[in-house]
Chains A and B, each alone.
Chain A
Amino acid sequence: MATKLEITQQVRKFIIDNIFGGSDNADLKDDTSLIATRVMDSIVALKLVTHLETTFGIEFEAHDVSQENLDSINRISEFVLSKMK
């Protein structure tokens, strides 16, 4: 089972690749707000959900796709962990 660090790294990589065109950004912290600050929009959020499901073998219910669960790298990782239990 993946550790929180592994999950965090995977999530970070996805965001770097899909939002920042591949170039890492030192200002992107694990607790940086993503949706609330419009860094990640609804389409990218959906792609992220699909990516997480495929990568970690979890399943998002309709109500799981929310700002609460997806708003920072930390929150996303915690959510993925909770789904893997």
Chain B
Amino acid sequence: MNATGHEQRIALSDTSGRTLTHASFKYSIDYCTAFLRNSGITANSRIVLLLEKNFQSITLIHAIIDLSATYIPADPNWPEQRINSIINDCQPHAVIHAGGIFLSTFPGSYMDIPECGKVVLSQQITPPDSDYNEIEDTAYILYTSGSTGTPKGVCVPRSAMTAFTTWCISAFQINSNDVIASVAPIQFDLSICDIFTSRTVGCTLHLFRKEDVINPRFVVREISEKQITFIYATPTFLSGLVHYGRLEKQNHNNVSRVLFAGEIFAVRTLHQLMDIWNKAEFYNLYGPTETNVCTYTEIKKDPERIAPYPIGQVCPGHEMYIEADGELVVSGPHLASGYLNLEALTKERFITKQGKAWFKTGDIVEKISGEELNFKGRKDRMIKRRGYRIEPGEIEAMALRLKNVINAACIATENTNDEVLLTLILEGVQQKNELALRLELSHILAESMLPDRIITIDKIPVTSTGKTDYLALKDYVKQNTTKR
């Protein structure tokens, strides 16, 4: 296909039927880089993108990267408190948002991105302190759950972003004929693969909004109608298609690669999906946000298999070792550089050995045959629920801010469908209405972190050393909840 022909092919499309050709996409990205540059944005400038996933945000991400600046995605639906804490932490040079309620806090000038839509560029925020650490060469900062209540920013260098993108293209043969389903939100590291491989190879990126993603029947229809070839999503998302999406009603011979990451995929459901999408290759990818993806494996269906599939071998160019307690430590080109403004924590988790940087994942693994690894569990209390990383400590810290709460404990249990449930136990609140408590919490906690149940208790049990007795609480929760 000649250059002119390619320019007219679709670069971006969305679920309302809008499309953007490669030529228009390039033009819009150039518009953004020019606008930003004229507004004083330079290399290493930090820009918070307070935007949903749409043509505007995707275009801006590329423009910011092209300027060698840093983008920091924040979900506009997050509680105000969380958004403010992120902005205070990263001290951005600009905040870009879609207007509306953000106009008063972040006034600015409109950018009318050709064929995409309007956004507001706000530079009316307190300029960073002159002695604020310049973070060199950072492509993006992704905020993840922090056990003390404050989210922590994972800084990913441009070299890591490029290395990861190049690996994805090679490992999964991504090419200009692909139609990639963009399912993960832009605050999530799964989106890095979708966004950057599609532009590099010049294929189509089909954007699914938040509302679309929670509607499996719609997604299933869209995968067929838009001839999606490549999907990278969480097991929760894919299980939703199996359980609620009526997959059997659609022909999905177009789906050729399915990648999943973020949590364990229940084998029963995975096998159901593999039976329906029997023309596709399936891959299990593993890695905390701090490493993006560091191990992976192709999954071939083993009908006898009961235990979850392995997480595979380290990615090319990476090394690993396992500590005495089973903790996986990895080194290689996909690694983040550290946590923003958290020197002590960065030193603790990102260690230097043999002249290389390594990341202590906190995940317990075991070696099976050769260099293959199995995931066994966590070293700490961090859990994955629906693919989201949650520190129960963050939920507890937020719960302590509720009126009358003396103590709080967050317990994770699993129901018969392998789903992780979070129960928040509160001490001090007198028979308060669970509905009212949920509403209060939803103002200070991101939606993905809201507990499934809230129980009040007279006194949270403690161990002999005075710490919360989580084991006793886990039993209490199991006894006090009916099946879900």
Contact = CB atoms under 8 A, between A and B. Distances in A.
A17 to B, nearest CB: 6
A38 B218 contact: no
B344 interface: no
A38 B436 contact: no
A63 B15 CA distance: 12
Interface string A17-34: 111111001011000100
A42 interface: yes
Contact of B244 (A18, A38, A49, A63): A49
Contacts of A50: 243-244
Contacts of A32: 435
Contacts of B386: 43
A12 B74 CA distance: 36
B217 A60 contact: yes
B218 A25 contact: no
Interface in B424-443: 433-436, 438-439, 442
B442 A37 contact: yes
A61 B218 CA distance: 9
B240 A38 contact: no
A38 B433 contact: no
A6 interface: no
Contact of B450 (A22, A27, A28, A41): A41
Q: How large is the interface on B (under 10, 10 to 19, 20 to 34, 35 or more residues)?
A: 20 to 34
Interface stretch (B19-27, B399-407, B476-484): B476-484
B482 A22 contact: yes
A71 B484 CA distance: 20
B435 A21 contact: no
B378 interface: no
Contacts of B215: 62, 65
Contacts of B221: 62
Contact of B214 (A17, A20, A42, A60): A42
Contacts of B433: 25, 27
Contacts of B482: 17, 21-22
B438 A39 contact: yes
A1 B144 CA distance: 50
A75 B469 CA distance: 42
A32 B221 CA distance: 32
A84 interface: no
A42 B450 CA distance: 12
Nearest to A21: B481
A62 B217 contact: yes
B287 interface: no
Given A21-B453, A22-B482, A38-B450, A46 B216 contact: yes
Contacts of A18: 484
Contacts of A38: 438-439, 442, 447, 450
Nearest to A32: B435
Nearest to B423: A21
B350 to A, nearest CB: 34
A60 B215 CA distance: 11
Nearest to A65: B215
A68 B430 CA distance: 33
Closest 5 pairs between A and B when the two form their complex, measured CB to CB:
A42-B214, A22-B482, A62-B218, A62-B217, A38-B442
Interface of B: 214-218, 221, 236, 240, 243-244, 386, 419, 433-436, 438-439, 442, 447, 450, 452-453, 480-482, 484
Given A18-B484, A65-B218, 4 more contacts: A20-B434, A37-B438, A37-B442, A38-B450
11 contacts: A20-B453, A21-B484, A22-B481, A27-B435, A32-B435, A43-B236, A46-B240, A49-B244, A60-B217, A62-B221, A65-B217
